C-alpha cells in the first residue's frame, strides 16, 4: 500500500525531485488503471505510509533504492539521518579517512526522495481528503510529522525547498530553496495548527496511530516538546529562545515521563519484505555476523567508566581481541600490527587507536581498512535500542534471530532528552547547579529506560550481569564529581559525553549538539591526520542539483545551517 500511494502522488512533487526525464514526469500516473486513485486509497492508508516513511527518514533500512523499496544490506546511502549523525560524532564507526569523500552529493539522494516524494507527497495527497471528511486528527498528525521532518531537513542540508513545493494539482518543476530560519518559523506555526487539530472533535480517529494509539494528550505533549527542540537548536540566533523555552517548561505540558516518549516501536514480525525488524538489527544480526563496526571511542568511554548501560548497548562475540588478550593478527585486525599515529598519541588515544581489551572489537574513527572475516567476532549492537542480545559474558556468535529478534525502538523525542535540553540551556546561561541537576536527571531516566527495555526480550540471558542499583548510583556520583571538579569547558565536556551516551541510536541530537557547542572536545580524532574539514551541512543531492535550476551545489560542506553560529567550530579532525 505504501508503494501504491507513492506512485499515485508521484506527479504531485515530480518537479521538485525530477529524478526521471521530463517526459516521464508529465505522464498522468494517477489515471493509470494499474494504480489506485487518492480517493480509492483512503486517508488511513496515506497516514500509515506517512508515519512509517517518517521514521525511515531517521532510521532508514540500509538501502532505500530509487524504486522506493527498502532493502537490507549495504552502505552509507539510505541509512537515514541517525546513522549519518552517529558516524560523524563517533557514536559508531565512520568508514573513511576524509570527510568529503565519505559523504558525497550522491549519498543523500535517498533521504531527499523519501522526504519529498514519500512523506510530503503523501501529506499533500491526504490532506484534502481528510479535510473533506472532517478527519482533523489525521491532519494534526501529518502537520506534526511535516514540521519535524522539515526542521530535520534544515538541520542536515540548510536551506531547502519548502514554500514552493506544489499544492494540490499545481506543479512547480523548479522550486526555490527557502532559508532555514523561515522554515523553522513556518514549522512553529504548523505545530500550533497540529495542537489545535489534536484538541478538535474529529469525525473519526486514525485506524492506526503507530506512535500514541490515539492518545491526543500525549500528541500535544510531543508537539510542545518539538517546540522545545526548536528553541534549543536556534538558541544561538534567537534572543527570545530561552524565554520561549522556559514558558513551555513552566506550562508543564511537555514530555516529562518516559511513558510519553515519542518513539517508533519495531514489531519484528517479519525478516523479509517488508522487514519490520529494527534496521540496525537487520544489518548486523546476520548469518555472516555483524555488518557494521562499533566505535572504539564510545565503547572505551563507557567500559572504562563502568557505565551501567554498556551491556545493553554493546554485545561482544568474543572476549579476546588481537593486540590485547591475544597476539596481533594481520588477517583479522591488520592495525594490531601497526604503531599508533603520532596525532593519536598526542591526543591521548595511542592505546586504543586500533584495539580495545575485554572483547570490545570495534574500529577507530575514520578507519577504512578492508573488511576481514571478522563478522562473528566484532562487537555489535546489544539489546538497546535495536532488540539484539544482552551481553552476559556468554560470548556466543550472533544469528539472525538472536536476542530480541529486532524488537527495537527508534527514539525521537524523549523525557531524558528534555532533561538534557534543560541542562544545556542552564549551562549556556551560566547556571551550573541546574545544569548538573538536569544532566543527572536525564542520566537516571536514560538508565531506567534502558534497563526496562530488557524485559521480555532476552528470556535466556543470565540476568546476574544486570547492573545493580548500587552500580547505577555509583556511576551518577562519579559523573557528578567529574562535573563539579571541571572548569567551564570541562563541564561542557562532561555534559556532552553524557548527552551522546544517552542518545545512543539517535545520531541527530548529538550531531546538532556538537555543532551548537563544539563539545565534547574529548572525541577521538580521525585516524587520518588531515581528514579535511568537519561537515557542518550536507551537500545537496546530485540529482536535485542537476534537475532543478534553482538549486546550486554548495562550494563545500563547511557551510553551517542558520542556527549554527558557534564561533568555535567542531574540530576538523
Q: How far apart are CA 4 and CA 46, in angstroms?
A: 10
CB distance 413 to 261 below 8 Å: yes
- Give the model's pLDDT for residue 571: 59
| Per-residue pLDDT reduced to its tens digit, 124-155 | 999 999 999 999 999 999 999 999 999 999 99
Q: How far is CA 498 from CA 102, 309, 354, in A?
A: 27, 12, 24
| Averaged pLDDT of the chain | 88
φ, ψ for residue 370, nearest 5 deg: -60, 170
Residue 29 has pLDDT above 80, yes or no: no
| Per-residue pLDDT reduced to its tens digit, 102-129 | 888 888 888 999 999 899 999 999 999 9
Q: Which of 5-9, 152-156, 243-247 has the lowest mean pLDDT?
A: 5-9
- Nearest-10 crossing angle of helices 296-304, 488-502: 100
Q: How far apart are CA 190 and CA 93, in angstroms?
A: 36
Return the half-sphere exposure (C-beta side, CA atoms, 13 A cut-off) of residue 4.
16
Q: Which of 58-67, 222-231, 335-344, 439-448 has the lowest mean pLDDT?
A: 58-67
- Give the model's pLDDT for residue 67: 32
φ, ψ for residue 219, nearest 5 deg: -60, -40
| Per-residue pLDDT reduced to its tens digit, 71-103 | 332 333 357 999 999 999 999 999 888 888 888
Residue 59 has pLDDT above 80, yes or no: yes
Cell 563547511 identifies what position? Answer: 558
- Give the model's pLDDT for residue 573: 65
Amino acid at each position: 500500500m505504501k508503494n501504491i500511494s507513492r506512485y499515485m502522488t508521484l506527479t504531485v512533487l515530480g518537479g521538485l525531485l525530477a529524478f526521471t526525464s521530463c517526459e516521464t514526469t508529465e505522464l498522468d500516473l494517477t489515471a493509470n488503471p494499474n494504480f489506485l486513485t487518492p480517493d480509492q486509497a483512503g486517508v488511513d492508508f496515506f497516514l500509515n505510509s506517512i508515519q512509517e516513511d517518517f521514521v525511515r527518514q531517521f532510521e532508514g533500512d540500509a538501502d532505500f533504492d530509487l524504486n522506493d523499496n527498502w532493502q537490507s544490506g549495504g552502505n552509507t546511502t539510505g541509512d537515514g539521518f541517525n546513522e549519518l549523525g552517529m558516524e560523524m560524532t563517533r557514536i559508531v564507526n565512520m568508514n573513511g579517512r576524509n570527510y568529503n569523500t565519505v559523504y558525497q552529493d550522491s549519498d543523500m539522494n535517498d533521504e531527499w526522495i523519501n522526504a519529498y516524494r514519500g512523506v510530503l507527497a503523501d501529506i499533500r495527497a491526504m490532506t484534502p481528503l481528510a479535510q473533506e471528511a472532517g478527519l482533523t486528527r489525521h491532519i494534526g498528525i501529518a502537520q506534526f510529522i511535516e514540521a519535524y521532518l522539515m526542521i530535520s531537513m534544515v538541520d542536515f542540508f540548510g536551506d531547502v525547498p519548502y514554500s514552493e513545493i506544489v499544492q494540490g494539482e499545481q506543479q512547480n518543476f523548479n522550486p526555490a530553496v527557502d532559508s532555514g530560519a523561515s522554515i523553522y518559523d513556518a514549522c512553529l506555526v504548523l505545530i500550533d495548527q497540529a495542537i489545535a487539530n489534536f484538541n478538535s472533535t474529529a469525525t473519526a480517529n486514525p485506524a492506526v496511530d503507530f506512535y500514541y494509539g490515539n492518545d491526543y494528550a500525549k500528541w500535544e505533549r510531543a508537539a510542545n516538546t518539538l517546540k522545545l527542540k526548536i528553541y534549543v537548536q536556534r538558541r544561538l540566533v534567537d534572543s527570545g529562545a530561552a524565554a520561549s523555552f522556559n514558558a513551555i517548561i513552566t506550562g508543564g505540558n511537555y514530555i516529562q515521563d518516559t511513558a510519553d516518549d515519542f518513539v517508533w516501536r519495531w514489531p519484528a514480525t517479519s525478516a523479509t519484505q517488508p522487514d519490520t525488524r529494527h534496521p540496525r538489527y537487520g544489518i548486523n544480526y546476520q548469518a555472516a555476523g555483524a555488518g557494521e563496526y562499533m566505535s572504539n571511542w564510545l565503547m572505551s568511554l563507557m567500559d572504562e567508566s563502568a557505565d551501567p548501560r554498556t551491556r545493553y548497548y554493546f554485545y561482544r562475540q568474543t572476549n579476546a581481541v588481537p593486540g590485547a588478550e591475544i597476539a596481533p593478527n594481520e588477517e583479522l585486525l591488520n592495525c594490531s600490527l601497526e604503531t599508533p599515529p603520532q596525532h593519536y598519541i598526542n591526543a591521548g588515544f595511542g592505546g586504543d587507536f586500533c584495539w580495545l581489551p575485554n572483547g570490545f572489537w570495534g574500529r577507530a574513527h575514520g578507519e577504512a581498512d578492508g573488511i576481514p572475516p571478522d563478522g562473528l567476532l566484532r562487537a555489535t549492537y546489544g539489546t538497546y535500542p535495536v532488540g539484539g542480545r544482552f551481553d552476559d559474558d556468554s560470548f556466543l556468535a550472533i544469528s539472525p534471530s538472536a536476542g530480541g529478534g529486532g524488537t527495537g525502538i527508534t527514539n525521537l523525542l524523549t523525557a531524558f532528552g528534555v532533561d538534557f535540553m534543560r541542562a544545556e540551556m542552564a549551562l549556556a546561561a551560566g547556571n551550573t547547579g541546574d545544569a548538573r541537576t538536569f544532566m543527572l536527571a536525564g542520566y537516571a531516566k536514560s538508565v531506567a529506560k534502558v534497563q526496562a527495555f530488557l524485559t521480555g526480550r532476552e528470556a535466556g540471558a543470565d540476568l546476574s550481569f544486570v547492573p545493580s542499583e548500587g552500580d547505577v548510583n555509583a556511576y551518577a556520583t562519579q559523573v557528578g564529581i567529574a562535573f563539579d571538579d571541571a572548569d567551564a569547558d570541562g563541564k561542557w565536556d562532561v555534559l556532552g559525553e553524557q548527552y551522546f551516551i544517552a542518545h545512543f541510536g539517535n545520531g541527530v541530537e548529538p550531531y546538532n549538539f556538537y555543532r551548537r557547542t563544539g563539545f565534547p572536545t574529548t572525541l577521538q580524532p580521525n585516524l587520518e591526520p588531515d581528514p579535511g574539514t568537519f561537515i557542518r551541512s550536507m551537500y545537496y543531492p546530485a540529482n536535485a542539483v542537476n534537475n532543478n535550476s534553482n538549486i546550486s551545489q554548495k562550494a563545500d560542506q563547511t557551510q553551517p545551517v542558520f542556527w549554527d553560529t558557534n564561533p568555535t567550530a567542531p574540530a576538523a579532525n
